[in-house]
Amino acid sequence: MATEIVPAPARAENQGMSLADRLAHEAGSYVRRAPLPLAVVRAVAQYEAATARYDELDARPASDLSSAEFDAFQGAQQTIAEAFGVLAAHGRLDLIAPAEAASRYRRTFAHCRDLSVSCSAEASVDPAAVDFDALFEAQDEMGHRRHQLAKAKRLDLIGGA
């Protein structure tokens, strides 16, 4: 009489998964996310607010700043440096990437606005002298930074929805 070999029944959770997938799933199921330390959360908030204020004041000529605005400009720089130090000490500089992208977006927006004004003024005098490449480059940069912020779900940093 011949013996029939029957494979062992497969467990339901292993069906359709390779060994590597099962091991990765098991390893990942034990990962727990710890909340961020309060110092890190505060540093990110301070960095974001100080960067926005710095960009706002930096866009204006220094001769137009009042003494209070000049002090606010220096205070913003100091806050940015302190928050950066806290985040660096905790190894969490990745958390300020959206604020950096927003800052670059704001600066590029101001540059694009200035280029638009100069392009329209130059076009009335000499259309060949208009630097459309610089204008398009600034618009591309803004689009790139906006995409980064949308991906990070932080359009609120530039006043977007």
Return the minimum-mean-pLDDT range out of 27-31, 66-70, 110-114, 139-143. 27-31
Task: State pLDDT tens for residues 6-59.
Answer: 555 555 555 666 776 666 666 655 555 678 899 999 999 999 999 999 999 998
Q: What angle do CA 64, 117, 56 make, to 5 degrees?
A: 40
Task: State pLDDT tens for residues 61-92.
Answer: 889 999 999 999 999 999 999 999 999 999 99
Nearest to 87 by CA among 48, 53, 55: 48
pTM, two decimals, is 0.68
Instruction: Specify whether the CB–CB gap between 86 and 39 falls below 8 A.
Output: yes
Residue 120 carries which DSSP code?
H
Q: What angle do CA 146, 147, 148 make, to 5 degrees?
A: 90
Instruction: Specify whether the CB–CB gap between 96 and 42 falls below 8 A.
Output: no
**What CA dihedral angle connects 19, 22, 27 and 33, to 10 degrees?**
150
Nearest to 145 by CA among 129, 158, 131, 159: 158
What DSSP string describes 36-81? PPHHHHHHHHHHHHHHHHHHHHHTS-GGG--HHHHHHHHHHHHHHH
Nearest to 138 by CA among 104, 102, 96, 99: 104
